[in-house]
Structure 1
Amino acid sequence: MADRRLQVFHAVAKHGSFTRAAETLYMTQPAVTFQIKQLEEQFNTRLLDRGHGRVTLTPAGDIVFAYAERILGLSDEMETRIAELTDELTGVLTIGTSQTIAGYWLPMLLDKFMKKHPRVIPRVFVANSENIENRVAAHELDVGLVEKQASDPALECTLACQDELLVIVAQGHELAAASSFKASDLQGHPFIDRDPGAAIRALAEDFFRANGVPPESLNRRAELGSLPSILHLVKQGLGFAIVAKAALNDYNNRGLVGISLEPRLFSSLNVLVPKDRFRSRLHSTFAEFAVSMFTNMERVEGPPAEVVAHSDTANPSTHS
C-alpha cells in the first residue's frame, strides 16, 4: 500500500546500488531508475549522488530516507494487523536458505505449509549460510534456514534438527574402503570444498583445526558454491568432499560412498528471524511451523545412525 517510489528509493539508498536494489525488489534496473527519477521530480531536487561506483544520499535524500523508513514500517504493520483480523494467512513470504536445505528440507516444508496456507506465496533466495544470515539481519529476508548457529545478536536463532556430515568419494577411490576418517587421514588427498561463507565449510575447517590439521594445509582442488557440481566432481574421482547426509541422498548417491568422520561431525538446521523487527503472524507462523516440523521428524526417526557405505548398493539413510 505504501508508495512504490518510496519503496524503491529506500532499497537503493539502503544498498547503495541500483543493481542490488533491482535484485532485491525483483525489478529491472531501468524500472528502478524510472521510479527514482519520478520521486526526484516530485520533490524537485536530487536525492541521490551517483559516482565512484556507489550511490550516496544528498542532504535532501537523508531526510526522505528517514521518513521512508518510518512510512514503510507503519505501512507494513498496518497491512499485517488488518490481515490478521482474518483467520487465513496471506501474502508474500521471503525465505533465505542454504543449498543443502533448499535441495532436501525446503521442498517438504513448503509442500506442507502451502497446503495448510494456500494464499501464502513463498519467495525463496538460495545462497550460503553467511549470506542468508546477513540478509535476514538486514531485514531483506523474512526468515532464514541455515546450517549453523547465527552469530549476529540481532537475530533469533532456533535449532530445529541435526544432520551428520560425511566424507564422500567415488566408488573405487583409494579412500572408499575406509570405515571412518580422522582428520589426519584426509590430509594430502585432493579436497573438493564448499565456497567461503558456507556453513559446512566452516564446520569442516573447525573439525580439521580441532584435530591437529590446519585448514590451510588441505589440498583443495576446487571451491564451489554449487552442491550438484561438487557431487559431480567427486563422482569423477577428482577428490573427496564433505557434505550433509541428507544432501547425499537427495542428489542421488549412486556411484558415491559416504563415510563418517572420527569424531563424528554434525550440521544443524537453524531457523532465523530478526529480533528487533515487527514480526507479522505470517513470519512467526512459518518459523514456528519449520521448527516444529523438523524437530518432530528428528524425534520420530531418532538420532543419526553410523553411516559407512562400501558396496555398489549402499545407500546411507537420512535421519531427519
Structure 2
Amino acid sequence: METLYLKTLVVAVDSGSFSKAATVLNITQSAVSQRIKFLEDRYGYQLLDRSGPVLVATEAGRVVLAKAEEILRIESELSNELKHMEGKPRLSLCCTPTFGIVYLPNVLNRFILQNADIVDLKFMFYTPEQAIKGLHENEFDVGVIEHCEALELSEFKTFQLPRDELVFISSPGLQLPSMDVDIDHLLHHRLIARKVGCSSRKLLELNMTAIGRSLKDFKRMIIYDDLRLTIDTVIGGGGIAFVSRSLVKKQLEEGSLLEHRLPGFTHNRFRTVALNKKRTPDKVLQNFMDCIFTTFPSVSVEEEGDSNQNCRL
C-alpha cells in the first residue's frame, strides 16, 4: 500500500475536512474521500467520524493515525538518508508567501550563482503551520516563517530576522486619509483578505478583536490566495487590504497606492529562520543561510536567545 493513503488520513484529520485536505494535497475532494474509503475497507473499520462539522478520528482511526504518522516519519528519514548516500548537494526550503515573493528571488539567485553544482533544490510557499509541519516531518531543511504569535520551535535551531511591517493599502481614488486613519474610514470599503491560516490575516483578526471589532464589520470581504492579485485589485480601486509594506514599497513610492495605519494596531509580525536539526550542517546549508542574512545587511542577525551568537552552523 502506498504511503500517500496514510498521508491523506493524517492531513484529513489535521485539516478537519475533505475539502481542506484536498487543497493541502493538491488533489480533488473526491480523491481524498476515495483514499479514506480504501483504508477503511482495508482495515475493516470506520476511521473518521463524518457526522459533525469537523472530521475527527474514531477509536480505530486514532490507532491507524498513530501508526501512519510513525510510518511517514520513518519514510522521510529513509529518503533523507538515501539522498545523503548519493553524495549530491541538496537543499529544501519552505517559506511564507511575503518572504517568498519579496526576498526569495534575490536569495536564490545569489545562492545559485555561488553554488553552480547544486543538484537538488526544492522550495515551497506554506502557511506558518504547514511550514512547521514540513520541518517536523523532515520534508524541509530550512523554513523562513512570518508569524504574529509565539511558535513552538524548540526542536529547531532558530534565528530572528527583522520584523515585517504590515499596513492597510488603498487606491488614491478611494480618497482615504493618508497614514493614520480611524477604523470607521476603512469599514465602509471591501476588504481583500488572505485565507485562514495566513499570518497577515491572523494578525488582522487579533487587531480587530483587540478594538472590539471583527472582519465581518467590513462592507464586504473577498478571499484571495494570490498576493499579486490582491495588490492589483486594490490598485484598481476594488477594495483595501492589510499586507506587508515590503510587498508594495514600489507602488507606495510611485503613488499608485496609499498606506494607512490605525492607532492601537499592532503593525509588525515576527520573521524567524528555523533549521531542521536532523539536517547535517554542511557548506551548502551554510552558504544558503549566508545568502538569507546578506539580504538584511543593516541588521546583525543573532540566534534566538543568544545575543552573541553569529549565524554559523
Q: Normalising by structure 1, report the TM-score.
A: 0.62
- Asked whether the equivalents of residues 183 and 208 of structure 1 are also in contact (C-alpha less than 8 Å), the reply is no
Measure the CA separation in 2 of the matches of 1:191 and 1:285.
46
Moved more, 158-167 or 78-87: 78-87
User: What is the Cα deviation at residue 184 of structure 1?
Assistant: 4.2
Rg: which structure is higher? 1
Q: Which residue of 1 aligns with 2:311?
A: none
Q: Which residue of 2 aligns with 1:173?
A: 174
RMSD: 4.8
Out of 90, 105, 114, the position equivalent to 1:107 is: 105
Q: Does the C-alpha gap of structure 1 residues 205 and 145 become closer, same or farther in structure 2, counting only changes over 3 Å?
A: same
Q: Which residue of 1 aligns with 2:309?
A: none
- Asked whether the equivalents of residues 90 and 119 of structure 1 are also in contact (C-alpha less than 8 Å), the reply is yes
- Asked whether the equivalents of residues 183 and 262 of structure 2 are also in contact (C-alpha less than 8 Å), the reply is no
Unaligned runs of 5+ in 2: 301-313
Q: Which residue of 2 aligns with 1:315?
A: none
| Structure 2 letter corresponding to 1:171 | P
Counterparts of 1:282-301 in structure 2, within 5 Å, are 286=285, 292-300=290-298
| Structure 2 letter corresponding to 1:104 | V
Measure the CA separation in 2 of the matches of 1:51 and 1:60.
6
| Structure 2 letter corresponding to 1:245 | R
User: What is the Cα deviation at residue 245 of structure 1?
Assistant: 1.9
Measure the CA separation in 2 of the matches of 1:27 and 1:283.
35
Equivalent pairs counted in the alignment come to 282
Measure the CA separation in 2 of the matches of 1:84 and 1:61.
33
Moved more, 225-234 or 254-263: 254-263
- Asked whether the equivalents of residues 161 and 273 of structure 2 are also in contact (C-alpha less than 8 Å), the reply is yes
User: What is the Cα deviation at residue 181 of structure 1?
Assistant: 1.0
Matched, 1:145 2:144: yes
- Asked whether the equivalents of residues 208 and 214 of structure 2 are also in contact (C-alpha less than 8 Å), the reply is yes
Measure the CA separation in 2 of the matches of 1:9 and 1:241.
38
- Asked whether the equivalents of residues 137 and 152 of structure 1 are also in contact (C-alpha less than 8 Å), the reply is no
Identity %: 16
Q: Does the C-alpha gap of structure 1 residues 154 and 168 become closer, same or farther in structure 2, counting only changes over 3 Å?
A: closer
Q: Does the C-alpha gap of structure 1 residues 21 and 170 become closer, same or farther in structure 2, counting only changes over 3 Å?
A: closer
Q: Does the C-alpha gap of structure 1 residues 51 and 270 become closer, same or farther in structure 2, counting only changes over 3 Å?
A: closer
| Structure 2 letter corresponding to 1:109 | V
Q: Normalising by structure 2, report the TM-score.
A: 0.63
Matched, 1:231 2:231: yes
Q: Which residue of 1 aligns with 2:6?
A: 10
Measure the CA separation in 2 of the matches of 1:152 and 1:167.
25
